[in-house]
């Protein structure tokens, strides 16, 4: 094989590799927002509460959720979640399986519990992470709840 053909082969393999990497990261790099719902009444009924579209806030929530040690277990909570939220893509053409996060406020109003029922994941966050997540999700301070 001549050196010229070898250079073309290397360039072709490089171009194909870049294309494959670009396609695999397409969904990951697509902008997302968080749709939040709030429970109304004492039943398992929810209404749209807010949408978090600020990329920095969305990333903070992702960071909190990605760096916690989820417990894999089935839980039966005594009441429906206070809030629930889901990540959605801003581009309506992208369809992806999304996890529904359910959020409960503790009795002392100092911590939150999260459950991903479909994945059997459960966690009670410490007071710092609870306060940070709650404020982003609701726009309210956990410490100021009555």
> Which whole number is the average pLDDT over 50-78?
95
Reading the block at residue 28, the tokens are: 């990951």
The pLDDT tens digits of the residues spanning 108-139 come to: 999 999 999 999 999 999 999 999 999 999 99
pLDDT at 107: 94
pLDDT at 103: 98
pLDDT at 25: 42
134 Cβ neighbours under 8 A, 6+ residues apart = 103, 105, 112, 140, 141, 142
Residue carrying the six token digits 């406020």: 105
81 — pLDDT class (breaks 50, 70, 90):
very high
62 Cβ neighbours under 8 A, 6+ residues apart = 87
> Which whole number is the average pLDDT over 84-109?
91
Tell me which residue of 35, 24, 20 sits closest to 88, measured CA to CA. Answer: 35
Q: Beta-carbon neighbour count of residue 115 at 10 Å? A: 24
């Amino acid at each position: 094989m001549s050196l010229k053909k070898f250079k073309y082969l290397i360039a072709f393999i490089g171009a194909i590799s870049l294309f494959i990497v670009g396609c695999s990261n397409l969904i990951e790099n697509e902008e997302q927002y968080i749709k939040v719902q709030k429970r109304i009444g004492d039943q398992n009924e929810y209404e749209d509460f807010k949408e978090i579209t600020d990329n920095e806030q969305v990333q903070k929530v992702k960071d909190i959720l990605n760096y916690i040690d989820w417990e894999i277990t089935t839980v039966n909570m005594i009441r429906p979640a206070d809030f629930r939220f889901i990540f959605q893509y801003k581009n309506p053409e992208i369809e992806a399986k999304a996890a529904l996060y359910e959020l409960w406020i503790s009795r002392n109003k100092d911590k939150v519990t999260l459950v991903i029922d479909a994945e059997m994941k459960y966690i009670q966050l410490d007071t710092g992470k609870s306060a940070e997540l709650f404020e982003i999700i609701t726009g309210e301070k956990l410490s100021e709840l009555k």
